[in-house]
Structures are given as C-alpha cells and as structure tokens.
Amino acid sequence: MTTQVQLEMFEGPLDLLLHLIKKNEISITDIPIATITEQYLATLELMESLNLDIAGEFLVMAATLIHIKSRMLLPPEEDPEEEEEGDPREQLIRQLLEYQRFKEAADELERREILRRDVFVRPFEEQEEMEAAGFEGVSLFDLIAALQSVLERLPKEEVHQVTLEKISVREKMNLLLYDLHRRGRLIFQSLFEGAASRMEVVVTFLAMLELVKIRAIRIWQEERMGPIVLELAAPLGDVHDMLATEIEGEEDGA
C-alpha cells in the first residue's frame, strides 16, 4: 500500500492539540501536559501507521510537548529556568488561544458567507449544500479517533495470517462512491462492516480521506459527538470526473 494522504489539505498540530483538549473537556489555560503529550504521540503513531504524510511541524510540536513535560516533572528548585520563565506551558497556551481565536473568526466569516448566499442568492443547485451547512463539521482528528475505536474492536490478527486477495485504495474509492450513490448516506462505522483485517480497514479509511481531499464526498455530524455521516458532494457522474482529473494530475506529476 503506497498511497499517502497529504495533511496540508486538513489540519496541523495546533488543530490536533485543540481536538485533544476538547475531547478531554479541559481548559486551554490548565493543560494536563502529561496526558495530552501521551495522546498526541499516540495519534501521531496511528497517523504514521496509516501512511499519512506527516509534516515536520507535527514532530516539532511533539518535541515541544516532551520538553514541557520534562520541565514540569522537575521540582522547581531543580529547574533554574522555572523562576525566570514561569509556567513552561505559558507560550504554548498563548499559541493555542491565538490560534483558536483565528479559527473562530474564520468560521464566523464562513457562516456569514453561507448566510449571504442563503438570503441573497439561492440557486437551485446550491440548495442541498446550504441545507447541510448547519451541521457540525468533522475534523481529520475526529475521523482518526473514530477509526481507532473501529480498530480496537477488530479481533487480534494471527502472525502467520496470509491475505491472498488485496484491494487497492483506488478500487476502494470507486466501491465507496457506488455505495454512497446507492444508499444516499453512510454512517462512518458502517464503512467497516465485514472488514476482516486491519489492512482492509486502513485501505477503506485512506480511500475515504482521498475522496474528502478532492471534495467528492462531504462529512459531518448532526450534533457534537453524534454519528459521523458521509454523502456524495455532487452527482456520481461529476464525482467520477473529479476522480479522473485527480488521476490525470497524478500521472502528469509522476
């Protein structure tokens, strides 16, 4: 399996930290750094096992978290920098608060744009998109957390298990598109029903991410922490055109 998903289409390390803070229902200004560092590193490990192309900034943040964790484990009298610099989390907290304000401002501008289209311009072809716009967005890290729960339910694989029949990410993308066309919507967990191995689950997940990247499908939750829903972002014929364009671009760049 050689497919890599470029993460610049999704989120960065600060998004991952905000996701973990929200997931743990903790305050940005009082981060339990040991817990967050452990979960951050576990998420990076899963991302690497999925063959996701992790940018260097994720590793820089990992090193920053480990450094802060080591500083906080030292008694104050053994850390002369502590008296001068104060809480070792302070700079990270400032970064997170600033980034959160930026994201909230961007989200507000996006909501205003959707409202403007809804009130002043309402062409028929955009109506379905606007109806879905009120739902909660789903981040890459929401998807990875949901995937982790799927992987944990898989039976332990035998060391000597041999898989005779493999399916490529590209083939899985086509199967997923036809399934969405036939059924209308899919719940995230239902994508993996009948999956016999971790490899099959991973290939399905990567196929879904590729379809999100080219905007062939859209994903949301009807409420925070609710089921993750997938559907086609356009008629199947248009989606196939998007896929063909993507394949041509990959071949030209090869």
Residue 160: phi, psi to the nearest 5?
-95, 15
What would the pLDDT profile of 97-130 be if each residue is shown by its tens digit?
999 998 888 777 766 665 565 555 444 444 444 3
* Domain spanning 135-254: CATH superfamily: Structural maintenance of chromosome 1. Chain E (1.10.10.580)
- CA 98 from chain centre, in angstroms, equals 21
What does the buried/exposed string (b/e) look like for 133-161 if buried means 16 or more CB atoms within 10 Å of the residue's CB? beeeebbbbbbbbbbeebeeeeeeeeeee
Structural domain boundaries of the chain? 1-133, 135-254
Q: Which of 193, 182, 191, 178 minimizes the C-alpha distance to 230? A: 191
What would the pLDDT profile of 194-227 be if each residue is shown by its tens digit?
887 888 888 999 999 888 888 888 888 877 667 8
- pTM for the whole thing? 0.72
The tokens for 111 are 């909501």
What would the pLDDT profile of 9-51 be if each residue is shown by its tens digit?
567 899 999 999 988 999 999 999 999 999 999 999 988 888 7
pLDDT confidence band for 96 (50 / 70 / 90): very high
Find out whether 175 and 210 touch, Cβ atoms under 8 Å.
Answer: no
Residue 74 contacts by C-beta under 8 Å, 6 or more apart in sequence? Answer: 82
Residue 203 contacts by C-beta under 8 Å, 6 or more apart in sequence? Answer: 1, 167, 168, 169, 172
